[in-house]
Amino acid sequence: MIDLAKRKPDPLPAFFPPCLAKLSDTPPDGAGWVHEIKFDGYRLEARIHEGSVQLLTRTGLDWTKRFPSLAKALGGLSITSALIDGEAVVETDQGVTSFVKLVEALEAGRSQEMLFIAFDLIYLDGVDLSPAPLLERKRLLEAIMKRSRSKHLRYSAHLPADGTAMIAEACRLGLEGIVSKRTDQPYRSGRNGDWLKIKCVLEDEFVIGGYVVSSVDAKAVGALALGTFEDGKLVYAGRVGTGFTNSSARILWAKLQPLKREAPAFDTPLTALQRRGVTWVGPELVAQIAYSTRTGDNLLRHASFKGLREDKPAADVHRPAAASVCERAALQERPRKLPKKRGQR
């Protein structure tokens, strides 16, 4: 157990790069792991110092002004200084976090609808907690969050349960998935395997490489050409033509105009059908996309646009390496076609 009173004061970091979860096909089971709900929002690091609050994205961008209600709530915590790892979210009427609703709230300036869900504590009142094991950090974090009466703040509880059972329950409830974490590890920046994410549905970031103009509005997007980076090359991943609102389609069109270029930025050959009607753009914007599965040549199926990811550089968007629980189940349950016998119709 950490004795905060006996620790030599550590300087408060300006920013601590976050621990990132690796994508996994299945959750780990057994001792040494706990499991939390995976939230569908924007990852934020709350930096608190003597009543002043900064909300930093996973790349260190200062987004405090975009989340005034959350900053005010965090400033009211009974602490002098802290670095709290969490997620800004908006919930649906069913209590499920929704990235689409978060983007809509951000665009409309409705920060009063947002929650900050805290799931780790990196620094507290002069003490660097990153070397401490996860459960000790979470014990201190839970105590802090329990003292808050703000409706905008919430603690992310964990379960030391069977990971397989928890992902099944998460999928049944319509959640995005779970994050499984090593209980005995320090807080380490980067994607090191201490945290694993297991998804119920497929939803990932893709780079926008082009767009098709809407058939009903000349200043709106009707579809996007998407890609991911592999070994430094932009590889075509298919199109998305649904999920746009009138507002998001026009906002996207405006954001893409300064990025227009004559030739595609994709390094893979494109068919005539894939090129048809596309205005090419530089690969700078990142879109959050939900989809049902991928084809044998890694093109998206039944893709739907959810919003722009302004917190992640395009160069960091790589092809997902694991499938969702639903996709694996669909593949396992898909009926096998038996070869017809000669003469059979």
296 phi-psi bin (left φ>0, alpha ψ -120 to 50, beta other): alpha
Rounded to the nearest 5 degrees, what angle is found at the Cα of 177, between the Cα atoms of 174 and 183? 140
Residue 72 annotated in active site: no
Helices (H) and strands (E) counted in the chain, each on its own, are 7, 18
Please state whether beta strands 127-128 and 81-89 pair in parallel, antiparallel, or not at all (unpaired).
unpaired
Q: In Å, how far are 142, 170, 293, 322, 323 from 331, measured between CA atoms?
A: 40, 20, 10, 13, 10
Residue type at 134 in one-letter notation: L
Vertex 17 angle, CA 234 and 311, to 5°: 45
**Residue from 198, 223, 197, 228 nearest 211 by CA:** 223
The single residue of 6, 8, 22, 38 carrying the catalytic annotation is 38
Closest CA to 286 of 62, 110, 119, 58: 58
Active site positions, annotated? 38
